[in-house]
């Protein structure tokens, strides 16, 4: 296992799709940090009771979300 680039305390295998696969541990990043993962998708750091995690960032791309009308 390899040592993470942003902290010497965490390790990764390189097979993770998240930015951890690129060597960036979520525990050493600030909450709200966005980064591209190995799969090309964007991930964001979120805080949980057991620590921080990389979570897939879902953008609202629905065409209905852009246009709302009121009567």
- Torsions phi, psi for 9 (to 5 deg): -85, -20
Q: Is residue 38 part of a domain?
A: yes
The pTM of this model reads: 0.78
Number of domains in the chain: 1
18 belongs to a structural domain: yes
In a domain? residue 70: no
The share of the chain scoring above pLDDT 90, in percent, equals 77
Asked if residue 71 belongs to a domain, the reply is no
pLDDT at 65: 55
For residue 48, is it within any domain? Answer: yes
- Domain interval for residue 35: 2-59
Express each pLDDT in 27-55 by its tens digit: 999 999 999 999 999 999 999 999 999 99
Whole-angstrom distance, CA of residue 56 vs CA of residue 50: 18
Task: Look at residue 64 and tell me if it is in a domain.
Answer: no
pLDDT at res. 59: 74
- Is 47 inside any structural domain? yes
């Amino acid at each position: 296992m390899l040592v993470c680039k942003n902290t010497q305390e965490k390790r990764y295998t390189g097979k993770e799709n998240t930015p951890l696969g690129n060597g960036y541990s979520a525990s050493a990043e600030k909450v709200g940090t966005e980064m591209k993962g190995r799969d090309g998708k964007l991930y964001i750091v979120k805080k949980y009771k057991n620590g921080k995690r990389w979570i897939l960032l879902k953008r609202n791309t629905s065409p209905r979300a852009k246009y709302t009308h009121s009567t």
